[in-house]
Each structure stands twice: as structure tokens, then as C-alpha cells.
Amino acid sequence: MYERYSSFNRYGDISKFITDPDLLQVTGDECVYISNENDYDIAVDLETCYASFDEVKPFIAFLATQICELDNIAQRFHQKKE
């Protein structure tokens, strides 16, 4: 049973995420990293985003605070489909 849930909470360490909107930066390839490369290396792709970066920064920071729960939900959904 534990094996089934072994990958849950893989992003549980919130301190590894950038949750302050003022610290978020856009890279040259239009991505915003919400975690350091040495930690989780997770980025938000802004290539098709039509709002300005300043408008979406608060949402991206909020997303970073919720990433563990979002990932757990996605994993549960994927397991139910198998």
C-alpha cells in the first residue's frame, strides 16, 4: 500500500520554492522558475501568456505555495486512470 503513495508529497519542502512575487524573474526563454535549479527545477512557461509579467506574478507565487497539493492531486488522478 505504501508503495502506491511513495511519490506523493515529492514537493513537500515549501522552503525550496520562490513564493515572494518580487523575487520571481523571467528567463531569456520566457520561463519563470518557481524553484531553484538545484532543488526541483520547476518553471512556468509564459510563452503563450497574454497578460504582463507584473500581472501574473502574484498568481505564480501563489501557485508555488500550492504546488505540493496540486502535484498530489495529479498523481491520484493518474493512478485512478491506470
- Please check whether residue 24 is in contact with residue 60, taking contact to mean a CB–CB distance below 8 angstroms: yes
SS in 3 state form for 7-27?
Answer: CCCCCCCHHHECCCHHHCCEC
C-alpha to C-alpha distance for 8 and 2, rounded to whole angstroms: 10
What is the per-residue pLDDT across 14-48, written as a single tens digit (0 to 9) for each? 888 999 999 999 999 999 999 987 788 899 999 99
Q: How far apart are the first and last CA of the chain?
A: 16
Structural domain boundaries of the chain? 2-81
2 band by pLDDT with thresholds 50, 70 and 90: very low
| Element of type H or E holding 71 | helix 53-81
- Please check whether residue 17 is in contact with residue 67, taking contact to mean a CB–CB distance below 8 angstroms: yes
**What is the model's pTM?**
0.76
